[in-house]
């Protein structure tokens, strides 16, 4: 058994009342899992001390909307082959880890890239965040050609929905990702485009949720139109991304059902900044960058008890988790609430059995070290000095070299 | 801007004597002149000083499997191959081989045509790598998918299917077509080897084999040769070597069991032999530590002497030999293949260098036209060795610079830290 006691300048342990820094305490870790905090005098004799006393420690960040293999480079280049998709997924996984993301929930990928990547990283063959694969995202039948995400699977009807989820889980999906509505046509006016989005039915969504639940998986839905959000809430998906059509009436339902909200603000921000240079059509830039959840509605959701979660959904390498955190902060969430979104809330939305995002006993020792207290100043997330994955500290030059590269432009 | 590469001693790969004090004038990565240094006096060119040692052409390893994953259990997991891991292994191996002075390689059989994908990514992002000549998936006969690499083979039956495969595969981007010419139809290979070991050396092979036909092979060769591409044949048993050579292949890979008729056929067809000695030798030397039944190593030990004897006979008869490692075991190095030609087969260091340079290039068809020797019209791909390989072939390990297209791309044995992988000038 490997026993480590971790010392830090402060442990940013987010409690309902604020932050407990566990001053003068060590974090005991056994075989990659957290045991708990204790005083030096109480530590076991055979424990090895890891001294990170120059850094503050937070639980590893969780990106609930990681897009492997579909990452548009700052110069606009997009993957156009399997090999290129793999190359970019490899780069992204390394950069996400360097950005402090220890768990990245895939939004799906073609050719099982996210699954193969997750296995390669888990086996130590490749470096990167832990990937939770989704394999093929599900879209309403007939919609694949309108969808820019490679590898989608079309579904029509409850029977087909059941089959799709069963097969995905059998093939290794750790979560089910659906695009709850897809545009039939694009218009310059985002509202007009939204009117022409074809959604999954409640019956289809309910079947997906039921099948996933039996397998211990959650369903994450990207839902744009109000009608699609209605259907997702009725079916009881675990989390909703983008949610441009979110309305105040949805919030009590989400809070009551425990449905989390991933505003995916980094996506709009990066496309707004870089979409034209990257060759996105003006209508798409207009739709994505101008459509976002209004800050007051986001704050309203937070106040209503809806879990806000951090999901980049960023098709640009620059649209990383730091940017998502910044955007959430700009929208009005406190630094502590942003950290909560990027750790605890994300962990709860990832799996029914919470294994990450907390300093709790028996959670996985995924940790991030930063120079300053991020609960006081969120910008400290831009200076990550080390990352711990399952109790193994990563401070090598590979991670360091990717930190600067992963900062937003 | 032209570049003048100065050398103290130049071995150009043609087999001619070393040339003291020669220089290479390079433009756009191509050698445009090669002469004694005085010939270039006063020339306005960027100087690359490679006078601290002996310059040889960049090496060619014409039998690699960069995307092969070196780990126990991989073969058993062949039905669920991890394509991402295989591609990633390709990136690592490409850089590793470049650091061993291999500036051109031929990948002879990669599942899902991942080598073609690998090459595309490497070229797009200018990643460190040898130039890559790709075979993609292999072609074999119906019923021939019996080994761990089953998932990278496509089966054909008859001349027209073979021709169709060749055309389609060339269209997919293959530079060379790899034929898995013979397949051992034994469910238990260890049992077969045990039976074979119990027989006298000159007894008939006790195995059940299937093979492509001469006509099937000839159809593939016809399509490939029409457009300057080549055909490589994996084959070990004697009868298979003859079938492949009669079909017109350009290279025999392994060719473990040569007989006199095989040698005659090599000379008649002009085919090149890629004996892949190092994989067998590595297995013999390290078999006790490898993840394979002991009988594999025992069989290799017994066949080694005969293979070496016939290889020497083939060389003396004029059969062209090229270097290929068959790099499927972790820890193997390109150097081993070159050194074994000298230390085991007994040919001269100069002939071993020619095998590692010119002969490999000549076996690649149009893909090899600009590599292999340091002559006008060829890429300025070369290796600077600290010590003379002609006095001791092991000096090929003392690489201080690897050059592609006239630019230094790796400094493997530098003490200033530039030798670390990942550093590029």
Query: Which residues of chain B neighbour A402 with C-beta distances below 8 Å?
Result: none
Q: How many other C-beta atoms can be found within 10 angstroms of the C-beta atom of residue A74?
A: 14
pLDDT of residue B281: 92
Q: Is the dihedral of CA A277, A282, A283, A285 positive or negative?
A: positive
Same domain for B118 and B54: no
Across the interface, whether the CB atoms of B84 and A126 are under 8 A apart is answered yes
Q: Are residues B266 and B163 in the same domain?
A: yes
| Chains A, B: CB pairs < 8 Å | 51
**In this structure, what token pair is assigned to residue B411?**
């400094």
CA distance B172 to A193: 39
- Window 105-164 of B: residues touching A by CB (8 A cutoff) are 114, 116-118, 120-121, 124-125
Q: What is the largest CA-CA distance in chain A?
A: 67
- Within-domain flag for B415: no
Each of the 409 residues of chain A gets a pLDDT tens digit; together they read 899 999 999 999 999 989 999 999 999 999 999 999 999 999 988 999 999 999 999 999 999 999 886 655 555 566 678 898 898 889 889 889 999 999 999 999 888 899 999 999 998 889 999 999 999 999 998 776 655 556 789 999 999 999 999 999 999 999 999 999 988 776 666 677 677 888 999 999 999 999 999 999 999 999 989 999 999 999 999 999 999 899 999 999 999 999 999 999 988 887 777 777 777 777 777 766 666 788 899 999 999 999 999 999 876 555 689 999 999 999 999 999 999 999 999 999 999 999 999 999 999 999 999 999 999 999 999 888 899 999 999 875 545 444 444 333 2
User: B95 and B143: one domain?
Assistant: yes
Is the per-residue pLDDT at B75 higher than 50?
A: no
| B221 vs B417 pLDDT, higher one | B221
Would you list the DSSP string of B89-131?
HHHHHHHHHHHTTEEEEEE---GGGHHHHHHHHHHHTT-S--E
d(CA B59, CA B71): 27
pLDDT in tens, B296-317: 899 999 999 999 999 999 999 9
> Minimum mean pLDDT among A36-40, A89-93, B38-42, B88-92: which range?
A89-93
Is B88–A90 a contact, with Cβ atoms under 8 angstroms apart?
Answer: yes
Distance from CA of B117 to the nearest CA of A (A): 5
Please tell me whether the interface predicted TM-score (ipTM) of this complex is above 0.85: no
Distance CA B147, CA B109 (A): 13
Q: Which residues of A touch B83 (CB under 8 A)?
A: 82, 86, 111-113, 116
Q: Would you say residue B112 lies in a domain?
A: yes
**Cβ atoms of residues B179 and B139 within 8 Å:** yes
Cβ-based contacts of A131 with chain B (< 8 Å): none
- State the smallest CA–CA distance between residue B88 and chain A in angstroms: 8
Looking at residues B252-272, what average pLDDT do you find?
Answer: 97
SS3 string of chain A?
CCEEEEEEEEECEEECCEEECCCCCEEEEECCEEEEEECHHHCCCCCEEEEEEEEEEEECEEEEEECCCCCECCCCCCCCCHHHHHHHHHHHHHHHHHCCEEEEEECCCHHHHHHHHHHHHHCCCCCCCEEECCCCCEEECCCHHHCCCCCCEEECCHHHHHHHHHHHHHCCCCCEEEECEEECCCCCCHHHHHHCEEECCHHHHHHHHHHHHHCCCCEEEEECCHHHHHHHHHHCCCEEEECCCCCCCHHHHHHHHCCEEECCHHHHHHHHHHCCCCCCCHHHHHHHHHCCCCHHHHHHHHHCCCCECCCCCCCECCCCHHHHHHHHHHCCCCHHHHHHHHHHHHHHHHCCCCCCCCCCCCCECCEEEECCCCCCCHHHHHCEEEEEECCEEECCHHHHHHHHHCCCC
- B123 contact residues in A (CB cutoff 8 A): none
Q: How many Å apart are CA B377 and CA B32, to the nearest integer?
A: 6
Question: Residue B425: is its pLDDT beyond 50?
Answer: no
Position B423 in a domain: no
Specify whether B303 is located in the same domain as B382: no
Mean pLDDT of chain B: 92
Check residue B21 and give its pLDDT. 96
The answer to whether residue B83 neighbours chain A at the CB level (below 8 Å) is: yes
- Cα–Cα distance measured from residue A148 to residue A110, given in angstroms and rounded to the nearest whole number: 11
Flag if A87 and B125 touch (Cβ within 8 Å). yes
The Cα B398–Cα B385 span in angstroms is 6
Tell me, yes or no, if B94 comes closer than 8 A to chain A by beta carbon.
no
Encoding tokens for residue A305? 């008890």
The minimal CB distance from A125 to the residues B88, B114, B125 is found for: B88
- Is 90 exceeded by the pLDDT of residue B73? no
Decide if B87 and A113 are in contact by the 8 Å CB cutoff. no
- Residues B243, B258, single domain; the answer is yes
pLDDT at residue A67, as a whole number: 86
Q: Which of B72, B84, B90, B113 to mutate to test the interface with A (most CBs of A within 10 A)?
A: B84
A72/chain B closest Cα distance in angstroms: 14
On whether both B289 and B331 belong to a single domain, the answer is yes
To the nearest whole angstrom, how far is the Cα of A238 from the nearest Cα of chain B?
A: 29
B378 and B345 in a common domain: no
C-alpha separations of A188 from A106, A279, B293 in Å: 30, 16, 67
**Taking CB atoms and an 8 Å cutoff, what residues of chain A touch B124?**
84
Contacts of B120 in chain A (CB under 8 A): 81, 83-84
Beta-carbon count within 10 A of B184 CB: 18
Q: Does B67 contact chain A (CB < 8 Å)?
A: no
Domain harbouring B325, CATH code: 3.20.20.140
Assess whether B335 and B264 both reside in one domain.
yes
In a domain, B314, yes or no: yes
Domains and CATH numbers, chain A: 3-59+358-395 (2.30.40.10), 61-350 (3.20.20.140)
- Closest chain B C-alpha to A112 CA, distance in angstroms: 9
Q: With an 8 Å Cβ cutoff, is B330 touching chain A? A: no
Query: Is B324 a domain residue?
Result: yes
Which structure tokens are listed for A35? 């045991």
Which chain B residues in 274-303 lie under 8 Å from chain A, judged by CB atoms? none
Residue pointed to by tokens 């007989």: B259
- Backbone dihedral region for residue B318 (phi beyond 0: left; psi -120 to 50: alpha; all else: beta): left
Q: Is residue B418 included in any domain, yes or no?
A: no
Residue B416 covered by a domain: no
| pLDDT band at residue B422 under the 50/70/90 scheme | very low
Residues in chain B within 8 Å Cβ distance of A87:
87, 121, 125
Q: What is the mean pLDDT of residues B98-120?
A: 95
Ramachandran quadrant class, B236 (left: phi over 0; alpha: psi -120 to 50; beta: rest): alpha
Of B83, B89, B117, nearest to A81 by CB-CB distance is B117
C-beta of residue B70 within 8 angstroms of C-beta of residue B330? yes
Binning pLDDT at 50, 70 and 90, where does residue B424 land? very low
The residues near B246 (Cβ < 8 Å, ≥ 6 apart) are B214, B217, B265
List of residues 6+ apart from B388 with CB closer than 8 A: B9, B18, B54, B395
Q: Which residues numbered 56-85 in A keep a CB inside 8 Å of some CB on B?
A: 81-84
Nearest chain A residue to B91, by CA: A87
Q: Tens of pLDDT along B212-252?
A: 999 999 999 999 999 999 999 999 999 999 999 999 999 99
Angle between helices A282-290 and A265-274 (to 10 degrees): 140
Q: Is residue B361 domain-shared with residue B379, that is, in the same domain?
A: no
Q: Provide the shortest C-alpha distance from residue B91 to chain A (in Å).
A: 9
B200 vs B119, more confident: B119
User: Quick one: closest CA in A to B81, which residue?
Assistant: A116
Residue B229 and residue B291 in one domain: yes
Query: For position B401, what pLDDT does the model report?
Result: 97
B189 in a structural domain: yes
Q: Is A86 on the interface with B (CB under 8 A)?
A: yes
Region B263-271 average pLDDT = 98
The last residue of a domain, from among B337, B352, B368: B368
Give the bridge partners for B233, in sequence order.
B179, B252
Residue A408 has a pLDDT of 33
What residue numbers bound the domain in which B192 lies? 59-368
B380 pLDDT more than 90: yes
User: Cα–Cα distances in Å, from A52 out to A8, A301, A379?
Assistant: 5, 37, 19
pLDDT of B329 over the 80 cut: no
Across the interface, do B82 and A120 touch by the CB < 8 Å criterion?
yes
Q: What is the CATH number of the domain that holds B31?
A: 2.30.40.10
Q: How many domains does chain B have?
A: 2
Whether residues B221 and B152 fall in one domain: yes
Q: Do B278 and B396 share a domain, yes or no?
A: no
Classify burial at A220, counting beta carbons within 10 Å of its beta carbon; exposed 0-12, middle 13-18, buried 19 or more.
buried
Q: How far apart are CA A23 and CA A31, in angstroms?
A: 24
Question: Other C-beta atoms within 10 Å of B16: how many?
Answer: 12
């Amino acid at each position: 058994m490997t026993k480590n006691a971790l010392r830090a300048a402060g442990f940013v342990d987010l409690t309902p009342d604020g932050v407990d820094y566990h001053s003068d305490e060590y974090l005991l870790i056994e075989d990659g899992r957290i045991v708990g905090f204790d005083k030096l005098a109480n530590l076991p004799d055979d424990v090895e001390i890891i001294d990170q006393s120059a850094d503050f420690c937070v639980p590893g960040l969780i990106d609930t909307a990681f897009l492997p293999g579909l990452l548009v480079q700052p110069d606009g280049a997009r993957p156009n082959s399997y090999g290129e998709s793999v190359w970019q997924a490899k780069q992204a996984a390394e950069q996400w880890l360097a950005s402090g993301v220890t768990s990245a929930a895939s939004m799906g990928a073609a050719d099982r890239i996210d699954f193969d990547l997750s296995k390669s990283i888990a086996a130590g063959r490749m470096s990167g965040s832990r990937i939770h694969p989704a394999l093929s995202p599900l879209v309403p039948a007939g919609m694949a050609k309108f969808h820019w995400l490679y590898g989608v699977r079309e579904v029509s009807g409850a029977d087909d929905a059941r089959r799709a989820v069963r097969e995905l889980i059998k093939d290794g999906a750790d979560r089910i990702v659906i695009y709850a509505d897809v545009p039939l046509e694009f218009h310059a006016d985002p509202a007009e485009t939204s009117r022409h989005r074809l959604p999954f039915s409640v019956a289809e969504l309910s079947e997906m949720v039921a099948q996933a639940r039996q397998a211990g998986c959650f369903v994450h839905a990207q839902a744009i139109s109000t009608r699609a959000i209605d259907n997702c809430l009725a079916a009881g998906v675990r989390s909703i991304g983008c949610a441009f059509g979110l309305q105040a009436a949805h919030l009590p339902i989400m809070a009551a059902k425990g449905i989390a909200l991933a505003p995916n603000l980094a996506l709009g921000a990066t496309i707004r900044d870089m979409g034209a240079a990257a060759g996105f059509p003006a209508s798409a830039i207009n739709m994505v960058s101008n459509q976002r959840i209004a800050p007051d509605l986001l704050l309203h959701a937070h106040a209503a008890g809806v879990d806000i979660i951090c999901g980049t959904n960023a098709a640009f390498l620059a649209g990383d988790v730091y940017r998502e955190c910044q955007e959430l902060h700009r929208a009005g969430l406190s630094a502590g609430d942003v950290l909560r979104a990027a750790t605890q809330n994300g962990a709860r939305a990832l799996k029914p059995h919470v294994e990450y995002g907390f300093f709790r006993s028996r959670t996985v020792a995924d940790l991030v070290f930063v120079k300053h207290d991020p609960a006081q100043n969120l910008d400290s997330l831009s200076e990550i000095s080390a990352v711990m994955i399952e109790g193994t500290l990563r401070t090598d030059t590979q991670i360091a070299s990717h930190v600067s590269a992963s900062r937003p432009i | 801007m032209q570049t003048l590469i100065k050398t103290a001693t130049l071995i150009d790969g043609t087999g001619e004597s070393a040339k003291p004090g020669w220089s290479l004038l390079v433009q756009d990565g191509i050698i445009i002149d090669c002469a004694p240094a005085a010939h270039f006096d006063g020339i306005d060119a960027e100087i690359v000083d490679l006078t601290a040692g002996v310059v040889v052409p960049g090496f060619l390893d014409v039998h690699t499997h960069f995307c092969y994953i070196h780990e126990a259990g991989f073969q058993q997991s062949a039905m669920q191959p991890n394509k991402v891991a295989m591609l990633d292994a390709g990136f690592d191996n490409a850089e590793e081989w470049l650091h061993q002075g291999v500036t051109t390689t031929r990948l002879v059989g990669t599942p899902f045509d991942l080598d073609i994908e690998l090459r595309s990514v490497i070229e797009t992002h200018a990643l460190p790598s040898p130039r890559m000549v790709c075979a993609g998936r292999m072609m074999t006969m119906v019923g021939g998918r019996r080994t761990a690499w089953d998932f990278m083979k496509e089966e054909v039956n008859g001349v027209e299917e073979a021709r169709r495969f060749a055309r389609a595969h060339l269209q997919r981007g293959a530079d060379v077509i790899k034929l898995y010419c013979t397949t051992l139809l034994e469910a238990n290979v260890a049992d077969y080897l045990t039976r074979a070991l119990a027989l006298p050396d000159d007894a008939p092979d006790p195995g059940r084999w299937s093979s492509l036909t001469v006509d099937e092979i000839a159809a593939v060769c016809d399509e490939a040769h029409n457009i300057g591409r080549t055909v490589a044949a994996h084959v070990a048993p004697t009868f298979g070597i003859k079938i492949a050579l009669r079909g017109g292949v350009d290279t025999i890979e392994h060719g473990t069991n040569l007989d006199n008729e095989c040698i005659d056929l090599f000379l008649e067809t002009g085919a090149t032999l890629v004996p892949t000695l190092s994989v067998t030798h590595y297995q013999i030397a390290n078999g006790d530590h490898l993840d394979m039944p002991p009988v594999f190593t025992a069989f290799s030990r017994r066949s080694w002497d005969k293979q070496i004897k016939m290889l020497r006979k083939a060389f003396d008869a004029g059969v062209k030999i090229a270097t290929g490692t068959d790099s499927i075991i972790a820890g193997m190095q390109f150097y081993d293949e070159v050194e074994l030609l000298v230390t085991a087969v007994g040919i001269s260091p100069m002939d071993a260098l020619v095998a590692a340079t010119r002969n490999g290039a000549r076996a690649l068809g149009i893909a090899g036209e600009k590599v292999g020797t340091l002559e006008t019209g060829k890429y300025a791909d070369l290796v600077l060795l600290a010590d003379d390989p002609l006095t001791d072939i092991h000096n090929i390990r003392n690489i201080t610079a690897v050059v592609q297209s006239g630019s230094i791309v790796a400094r493997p044995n530098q003490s200033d830290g530039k030798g670390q992988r990942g550093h590029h000038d």
